[in-house]
Every structure is written in structure tokens, then in C-alpha cells.
């Protein structure tokens, strides 16, 4: 499945405040997922295998490192938990880094919210405005991210431009 995503990632000093905002605004809570993301060596973009108790996908994406809203072209392939895919990809491509996180997942319409605790890095939150069917353009997705950024009172200095994988490598 191909989709267009605009996302914002930020350090989160007060996860309780974000949870309260989401509950007050009737966000649908999907659960807490313990996710292991294994990043593989590829010539372009990023390729990761996400293994969790809620989400299990092979994900390829292209995204620039920039603060604030950033666009990703994403391809998802749903995988079965505990398949041999990780072993095959590791042997054929090699790994770069593994990200271990606890992720709370919420939705308000097409916007997905993550409250993350990442092993070795700390607390974060993400806002992902998602277009799965070509009905929303980049500007509309960007506006959704900026709206929730403002609503949740996320400060510009808390925005991060890199992925968790980059932060772990740089750490």
C-alpha cells in the first residue's frame, strides 16, 4: 500500500498533557505497542521491519531530515509476526540499527498520534497526517499537523528533524 504522510516528531516533556488532549478530543485509542524496528542497509530511502503486538510491517520510505512538518512517501507491506523475513533481510542486506520503543497509538480521523518512549533516547510524540486514497494534498496534511502542533502547545525547540534510528546512531 502506498500513502502520503506528513509528520511532526518532537521531544515530549509531558506525555500526560498529550494523553489528556487526545482523550478530551475523543481520539480513538488503538493500544500500546511494544515495537522493535530493525533498519536495513539499502541504496536509497529507508527500509525497516516493524515487529509489534499491534503493527507488523515492512516499511520503505523517503523523507528528508527537517524540523516541523516533513513529507514521506511510504510503502507498507503487512507481515506476519515471527516470520523468517527478518532473518532473510538481515542476511541479504545487513542491519544498521534497532529501535526499541513503547508506542501508544491514537487516531483523530486521518491523523495518527504516537506517544513514544524510546529505549536509550527518552520520551517523544509524533503527529502523522495520512492520505491513503489521494483525497488530501500535501498542503492539507501540512495544515493538519500544524493545527495539532499548536493545539497541543508543542514548542518549536522541541521539534526534531531526525528519525529515532538517526538519533541512536548519533548518540
User: What does the pLDDT look like over 109-147, one tens digit per residue?
Assistant: 999 999 999 999 999 999 999 998 889 998 999 999 999
Query: What pLDDT was estimated at residue 133?
Result: 87
Query: What pLDDT was estimated at residue 70?
Result: 67
Cell of 159: 521539534
Q: What is the DSSP string of 12-81?
A: -S-HHHHHHHHHHTTPEEEEEEEEEEEEE--SSSEEEEEE-SS--EEEEEEE---SS-EEEEEEEEE--T
Pairing of the two strands 28-40 and 2-11: unpaired
Query: What pLDDT was estimated at residue 1?
Result: 61
User: Between vectors from CA 59 to CA 54 and to CA 63, what angle results, nearest 5°?
Assistant: 120
> Would you give the DSSP letter of residue 141?
H
Contact 107, 127 (CB under 8 A): no
One digit per residue, the tens of pLDDT, for the chain of length 171 reads: 678 889 999 999 999 999 999 999 999 999 999 999 999 999 998 999 999 999 999 999 886 665 667 677 788 999 988 889 999 999 999 999 999 999 999 999 999 999 999 999 999 999 999 998 889 998 999 999 999 999 999 998 999 988 999 999 987
- For the chain, give percent helix, strand, coil, nearest 5: 25, 45, 30
Contact 52, 116 (CB under 8 A): no
Query: What pLDDT was estimated at residue 83?
Result: 87
Domains and CATH numbers, the chain: 2-170 (2.40.320.10)
Q: How far apart are CA 108 and CA 88, in angstroms?
A: 36
Amino acid at each position: 500500500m502506498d500513502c502520503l504522510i506528513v509528520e511532526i516528531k518532537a521531544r515530549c516533556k509531558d506525555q500526560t498533557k498529550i494523553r489528556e488532549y487526545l482523550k478530551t478530543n475523543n481520539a480513538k485509542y488503538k493500544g500500546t505497542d511494544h515495537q522493535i524496528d530493525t533498519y536495513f542497509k539499502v541504496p536509497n530511502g529507508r527500509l525497516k521491519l516493524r515487529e509489534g503486538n499491534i503493527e507488523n510491517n515492512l516499511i520503505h520510505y523517503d523523507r528528508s531530515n527537517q524540523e516541523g512538518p516533513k513529507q514521506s512517501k511510504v510503502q507498507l507491506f503487512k507481515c506476519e509476526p515471527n516470520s523468517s523475513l527478518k532473518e532473510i533481510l538481515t542476511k541479504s542486506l545487513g542491519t544498521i540499527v534497532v529501535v526499541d520503543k513503547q508506542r501508544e497509538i491514537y487516531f483523530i480521523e486521518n491523523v495518527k498520534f504516537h506517544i513514544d518512549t524510546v529505549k536509550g533516547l527518552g520520551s517523544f510524540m509524533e503527529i502523522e497526517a495520512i492520505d491513503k486514497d489521494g483525497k488530501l494534498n500535501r498542503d492539507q496534511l501540512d495544515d493538519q499537523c500544524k493545527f495539532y502542533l499548536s493545539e497541543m502547545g508543542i514548542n518549536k525547540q522541541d521539534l526534531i528533524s531526525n528519525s529515532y534510528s538517526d538519533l541512536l546512531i548519533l548518540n
